Amino acid sequence: MQNLYNKIIWLLLPKVIVKYSELIIYKKEEQILHLYLKEINSIPLRGNQEYLHIARRRWLNENTGKVVF
């Protein structure tokens, strides 16, 4: 089951992240998924700081007034 979950996570991440990183561990909380990645030695940005920013869309259900993720 964990191997299948890892494959699904890699489908969600950009290919450049998958190519130059390996998933060390993941933790799932109620509505949060924490991914811990370790960069592989051959990453092209060697020696530079890197930041990964992911924005997530949220939609408002006009009938219920609740936010939908």
Q: Is the predicted pLDDT of residue 5 greater than 60, yes or no?
A: yes
Average pLDDT along the chain: 77
In the block, residue with structure tokens 């799932």: 28
pLDDT at 1: 55
Give pTM, 2 decimals.
0.51
Residues 6+ positions from 68 with CB-CB distance below 8 Å: 58, 59, 60, 61
pLDDT digits (tens, 9 = 90+) for 21-54: 888 888 888 877 788 888 777 656 667 776 766 6
Angle, CA 36 vertex, CA 49 and CA 29 arms, to 5°: 130
Residues in the chain: 69
Cα→Cα distances 11→1, 6, 27, 46, Å: 16, 9, 17, 25
The pLDDT score that the predictor gives to residue 45 is 62
pLDDT computed for residue 57 by the predictor: 75
